[in-house]
Chain A
Amino acid sequence: MRKIERFSVLEYFVRSLFGILAIVLLSVIMLIAAIFLLSDQPLTSIASFFAGPFSSLYAIGNMIDHAVPLAIGAVGIALAMRSGNMNIGGEGQVYAGALVTTIVALALPGWGLTGILVALAASMLVSGSVATLSGWLRERWNVSDLITTFLLSNIIILVVDYMVAYPFVDPQTNLISTRFVDPSYHLLIILPPSQLNIALCIALVCVLVAHLFLYRSRTGFELRMVGDNEEFARYAGVDHRLYRILPMTLSGALYGLGGALAILGTYHATIKGFSAGMGWNALLVALIARFKPAAIIPAALFFAYIDAGARSAMFYSDVTYEIAYIVQAVIFFLISSSILQRIALGRRRV
């Protein structure tokens, strides 16, 4: 006979947090080992990696600013994953959202707040539609969403690259980039001199709303039910087909929003390839957070920290930016291991 194991919520929380921290610690140890192997001045490299992101208010603000689109994209991924859907087309959806926002802002100069809202809505509409298409294809014809989101994303990236390089290019810069949007479209900076802006508040609202939606609404409950056990949900009378499409739409729209806010808050123009990596990184943030909206905030901040650390180490020392990938890869190798989770939770069997 198996004993029924009792767990308090707090103990569960503390133990699973401990498990994740142990994995993170291991990845940091691997990073330090890699730096010692690769760098001629390992101590300088390590110092600039870990302390660099906190060296000034400017650095801290920019680090948090970089976490914003990741967090918003991760919220969408969490919704898609919790319902058993897969959207790995974030790269294209972020990039498309960014371009659409830029185009709207350039087309409607001086519209101010209304213009910002129109631009954000347009980007969410476009990116959301792309993801919806993948969801619909899976619902209707059982086409793997894993593959369609990926392929669509690659096509979109190339189309956006073309748009940025030809029809919308700004001939006056050396970069391949669109024109800059006018200052009435810039989001309010909340921590000058850094680029941190009110998009941060939008990200926090997204996390909060997603949390309430998942755990406090009927739709959210049904969404989780479909993700946990689709057969069961069908017998319970849940319209499981809706949950093949709705979460995809939401995840696409949120990716689009992330790209749009990066434009209005930080970059102010679509530069060719500026968002490369954002889509994947948001997916990875959602994975560290184990698809729980509340955990997305620390996960996104951690991710932005590693990113900023690698940039600072590259700038002040002799290692390349790609050492950040080592940390990320180690985490992702171990984060989903159910054996390690079991050890962390102190259970012999599950």
Chain B
Amino acid sequence: MIHTLTNLSVSAVTIMAPLLLAATGGLFTELSGMLNIALEGLMLVGAFASIAGVYFTDSILLGLLIGVVSSMLLSMILASVTLYLKANVFITGLAANLFASGITVILSFHLFGNRGVITFDTLKELPDLFTGFAQQMPLIAGYHVLTYLSVVLLVAAWVLLYRTRFGVRLRGVGFHEQALASLGLSPHRYRFAACVLSGLYAGLGGAALSLHLGSFVPNITAGRGWIALVAVFLGQRRPIGILLASFIFAFAEAFSNYAQGAWSVPSDFLLAIPYAISLFAIIFYSVFETRKKRIEYRKD
């Protein structure tokens, strides 16, 4: 029992990395007052571009760079159109997702002659860290480098958002746009920065997904960008909450992977578990919040 639980937690931490990265990216845009439904598309572009980058440059670092830059480019297009052409952020987000799912398949067909799964035998693997300590500290050691990076980058995001002037202003845009404008600062500039940062994080999240797997499948993200968005809401837009929410989702996915092998439950039902848990989590959270507000309202 304990052993199974430990195993589940270990695989949950690995599964969590892409989700946590994308959710942290979503945190920036959410705090700046933009609904970023393009996380899914940004992740997808990051996943494809990084694996293509590693294949062509034969270097993990350059591949990651290519992946992140591509997804940042898409987020820049998204931000420019949304902010400077005053478009609806929900619709441009859908556009970005559509564009991402199109361009990845088109390029994979054009570059590798294959619309489906791309796997390379010669692809470099992500290096694992602290493998020697994995026996003594099963929950902390032995993951690949991007798993650690996802937590480090979450802390970095916290520092940036809560301990720098830039971060205070970025949150200020979401909190009260006019207040920031009255200080002579441009709200658009901070939203733009938030969007590009979300591109950076989500792109890295996508890279963590495909490089860990060592291959690219069309729609490899399979709704993870959306789940990341739910994690932002559920984590109450706070870094620690996001970490917790991402871990819960990742644990649910790890459990569904485990159950698939252990019991003879149809895989379709098990694949639905992460969505079902997200659904119940968001419902319970909203019920709780609404009740709290109603009680406060009555007290006043």
Contacts and interface: CB of A to CB of B under 8 A. Distances in A.
B287 interface: yes
Contacts of B96: 329, 333
B109 interface: yes
B222 to A, nearest CB: 9
Contacts of A338: 85-87
A307 interface: no
Contact of A325 (B37, B98, B276, B278): B98
Interface string A316-345: 000110111110111111111111100000
Size band of the interface chain A makes with B: 35 or more
Q: Which bucket holds chain B's interface residue count?
A: 35 or more
Contacts of B106: 34, 38, 319-320, 322-323, 326
Contact of A143 (B84, B103, B283): B283
B164 interface: no
Contacts of B229: 147
Contacts of A325: 98-99, 101-103
B118 interface: no
Contacts, number: 132
Contacts of A330: 95
Given A141-B290, A151-B230, A155-B275, A337 B85 contact: yes
Interface in A133-180: 137, 141-144, 146-148, 150-152, 154-155, 158-159, 161-162, 165-166
A332 B290 contact: no
Nearest to B277: A151
Interface of B: 37, 77, 81, 84-88, 90-92, 94-96, 98-99, 101-103, 105-106, 109-110, 115, 223, 226, 229-230, 233, 266, 268-269, 271-272, 275-276, 278-279, 282-283, 286-287, 289-290
14 contacts: A141-B283, A143-B282, A144-B286, A146-B37, A147-B229, A147-B230, A148-B282, A151-B226, A151-B275, A151-B282, A280-B98, A332-B91, A338-B87, A340-B85
Interface of A: 34, 38, 86, 137, 141-144, 146-148, 150-152, 154-155, 158-159, 161-162, 165-166, 280, 283-284, 287, 319-320, 322-326, 328-340
